[in-house]
Structure 1
Amino acid sequence: MTTHFARALSRRRVLSSGLAAMGAMLLAPGLALSAPGTALSGTVTALAFDGPAILAVTPDGLLRREGDAWTRLDVPTGPSALATHPDRPGMILAGWQDGALRRSLDSGQSWTPANAGLPEAAILSIAVAAQAPDTIYAALEGDGLWRSEDGGEAWTFVMDRPYLDGAEHDVLSLVSVAHETGMGGIWLYAGTRAGLTRVPDCFCRWQDVVAGDAMDALAMGQAPVEAASLPEGAPVEILALAPDTPERLYAALPSGLWLSTDAGVNWEQTASDPVTALTTDPADPLHVIAADAAGLRVSRDGGTTWSSFDLSKDS
């Protein structure tokens, strides 16, 4: 087992005065004038459920599907990160490569800035705490993890990037996994270009995902139980789970889609096609929607079988 210790928080970036001025600007409320039936075009780069509705990021912008149609939401195109939470229906968080982060509390009808205190760095991933939906985490390119405990009103730096294979790595995808750490609190799992890692929400250190008795085994001079791991050193590009079933974790790698049913200790590959976006239905952890070069596909059995995403049906 490898343990990675956090570096000093002195790496925190100094904010520019211009960023605060940018954050004071409000976005115009309302939906963009897109007729129902707007089609998805181009590569889908992010997906999320907002209650029964589905959100998708495409080159055309952020789209929302309710009923049998997509509608374009009135935000700048190209969000790089997207997050929702089943305990806060209507709350959508979207981040951009320019460091902007915006929040909607009415399912995308209006938006306000939510990046006060964040440095001007690309937002790679956003996660809402599984057991505390007012707590939000953001992974920033070249910087590390930031936390807001008031729904995005203010932010503080909490953790450097994980140090893996002799170098720091950006967090490409972040999820809050409601399993106790043994140190109090719960885990944040991170996908990086060097693989999967995790940190407790006390932010003491990054560490590998291991079986629950691995530390006890090492203390007794025994070898930990072997686990069926993800491919060693392979990039973990996307993580997804339903908060009420934290042991069921999905990971998208260049080799395809992988599934763990024990919170990331053991893994099996369920699909070989690469995906560009992934989301799990909070109301049904077996209901998974993925995007690839051909469009959207849906699974109702946890990723074992897939079918085309059909707007005319309840996908």
Structure 2
Amino acid sequence: MPRKPIPALSRRMFLIASAAAAGTLALPMGILAAEPEHPAVATLAFDGDALLAGGASLIRSDDGGHSWTELSAPEVIQTLATHSERPGRVLAGLASGGVALSEDGGRTWESRSDGLPAGQVDAVAIASQQPNMIYATVRDDGLWKSEDSGESWSFAMDRPWLEEAERNVLTLSSVDLATGMGGIWIYAGTEAGLTRVPDCFCRWQDVQPGDAMDALVSGDAPPSEAPLPEGEAVRALASSPSAPETLYSALPSGIWTSRDGGVVWSHLVEGSASAAAVHPSDPMQVVAVLDGVLQISRDGGATWTALAVD
């Protein structure tokens, strides 16, 4: 199948926001001047040590957020995913529909949307053990998968049923845990809470103690003793391959973390959190958007520092 290049957006002039003096986020003009329906930073991802921030534009920092470079963006980016075993590989879900793939850290892009239905792509993920296996959720449709890096797609399963309604998936994370079938869980944050499915795609299920087979038998496993807040939207999920049992989530109430694969959660910091990512080899290094400000923690969320362009 021929690959279709995506035309790059024109580069925008870089400006420094006056808010930098107050310790708030300062980003290039294209990020600051985002349209209201498209957040300034909708999604974050680590590509090795580099940090990517996507939304109305796309920027990359290769020095821990001290300086930024604006990259060509394949339209408005809704969500990003990377893989620790494939440096440079970046998967983007687009607000206008479809997905795009970069193999050079976000500098150039190719469309990988043939076979996907129309509609905004809210979440993407790359399988933790298989970098050519990718997942995408389409607004008001369901979960789709590709085994060839997006050259072709097949329908995997419907949207989760939570609180008496089918819910859109806002974020995905493929997590390598022994309790999953084949060692894999696909965690999904929805507009009404957290759910997950083993890689058999048998059934969406609550996060509970025990393995996948226990959870598939209704009532066989007890519910979590300390779940995320009931009914709250889970806007972002992040897991480091170096410590897959440690999860971070971004909710309207702040950043939460779990050290046991999502069974027990603790509240790290208050504020409206809309995006999060964790370093692939350092699970203590986390970035998040809190109350519209891009911040970084290097101690697992105990303390936070705002990032700004010098």
The interval holding the TM-score normalised by the smaller chain is 0.7 to 0.9
* Percent identical residues: 48
- Distance in 2 (alpha carbons) for counterparts of 1:183 and 1:177: 11
TM superposition shift of 1:69: 2.5
Please name the residue that 2:23 is paired with: none
Which of 52, 62, 71 is the matching residue for 2:49? Answer: 52
Please name the residue that 1:27 is paired with: 6
Please name the residue that 1:245 is paired with: 243
Deviations 1:75-123 (A, max 9, x none): 2442111111111111111121221211111112221111111111110
Unaligned runs of 5+ in 1: 1-19
Of residues 65-74 and 223-232 in structure 1, the stretch that sits farther from structure 2 once superposed is: 223-232
- Distance in 1 (alpha carbons) for counterparts of 2:74 and 2:208: 41
TM superposition shift of 1:301: 0.9
TM superposition shift of 1:232: 1.6
Please name the residue that 1:236 is paired with: 234
- Distance in 1 (alpha carbons) for counterparts of 2:169 and 2:288: 20
Normalised by the length of structure 2, the TM-score is: 0.84
- Seen in structure 2, the aligned counterparts of structure 1 residues 291 and 167 have a Cα distance that, compared at 3 Å, is same
> Is 1:206 matched up with 2:204?
yes
Alignment of 1:249-264 (within 5 A): 249-264=247-262
TM superposition shift of 1:24: 6.2
Deviations 1:187-208 (A, max 9, x none): 1011111211100111011110
Checking the alignment, whether the CA contact within 8 Å between 1:62 and 1:77 is kept in structure 2 is no
Checking the alignment, whether the CA contact within 8 Å between 2:74 and 2:100 is kept in structure 1 is no
Of residues 208-217 and 88-97 in structure 1, the stretch that sits farther from structure 2 once superposed is: 208-217
* SS of residue paired to 2:168: coil
- Seen in structure 2, the aligned counterparts of structure 1 residues 149 and 213 have a Cα distance that, compared at 3 Å, is closer
* SS of residue paired to 2:132: strand
Please name the residue that 1:303 is paired with: 301
- Distance in 2 (alpha carbons) for counterparts of 1:126 and 1:193: 16
Checking the alignment, whether the CA contact within 8 Å between 2:294 and 2:307 is kept in structure 1 is yes
Please name the residue that 2:62 is paired with: 66
Please name the residue that 1:159 is paired with: 157
> Is 1:291 matched up with 2:289?
yes
Q: Which amino acid aligns with 2:103?
A: L
- Distance in 2 (alpha carbons) for counterparts of 1:92 and 1:103: 6
* SS of residue paired to 1:184: helix
Please name the residue that 2:170 is paired with: 172
Of residues 93-102 and 130-139 in structure 1, the stretch that sits farther from structure 2 once superposed is: 93-102
- Seen in structure 2, the aligned counterparts of structure 1 residues 216 and 92 have a Cα distance that, compared at 3 Å, is closer
Please name the residue that 2:194 is paired with: 196
- Distance in 2 (alpha carbons) for counterparts of 1:278 and 1:218: 29
Please name the residue that 2:94 is paired with: 96
Q: Which amino acid aligns with 1:234?
A: E
Of residues 92-101 and 210-219 in structure 1, the stretch that sits farther from structure 2 once superposed is: 210-219
Checking the alignment, whether the CA contact within 8 Å between 1:34 and 1:71 is kept in structure 2 is no
Of residues 280-289 and 302-311 in structure 1, the stretch that sits farther from structure 2 once superposed is: 302-311
Q: What is the count of residue pairs matched by the alignment? A: 289
TM superposition shift of 1:170: 0.6
Q: Which amino acid aligns with 2:44?
A: L
- Seen in structure 2, the aligned counterparts of structure 1 residues 133 and 213 have a Cα distance that, compared at 3 Å, is closer
Deviations 1:131-169 (A, max 9, x none): 111110001111111111111111111111011122110
Q: Which amino acid aligns with 2:58?
A: L
- Distance in 2 (alpha carbons) for counterparts of 1:115 and 1:204: 25
- Distance in 2 (alpha carbons) for counterparts of 1:94 and 1:226: 32
Please name the residue that 1:16 is paired with: none
- Distance in 2 (alpha carbons) for counterparts of 1:223 and 1:73: 47
* SS of residue paired to 1:127: strand
Larger Rg belongs to: 1
Checking the alignment, whether the CA contact within 8 Å between 1:91 and 1:106 is kept in structure 2 is yes
Normalised by the length of structure 1, the TM-score is: 0.83
Checking the alignment, whether the CA contact within 8 Å between 1:143 and 1:160 is kept in structure 2 is yes
TM superposition shift of 1:213: 7.2
TM superposition shift of 1:49: 0.8
Unaligned runs of 5+ in 2: 17-26, 34-39
Which of 124, 140, 154 is the matching residue for 1:126? Answer: 124
Alignment of 1:103-114 (within 5 A): 103-114=101-112
TM superposition shift of 1:307: 1.3
- Distance in 2 (alpha carbons) for counterparts of 1:226 and 1:113: 40
- Distance in 1 (alpha carbons) for counterparts of 2:271 and 2:145: 34
- Seen in structure 2, the aligned counterparts of structure 1 residues 36 and 106 have a Cα distance that, compared at 3 Å, is farther
Q: Which amino acid aligns with 2:201?
A: F
* SS of residue paired to 1:172: strand
Checking the alignment, whether the CA contact within 8 Å between 2:251 and 2:274 is kept in structure 1 is no
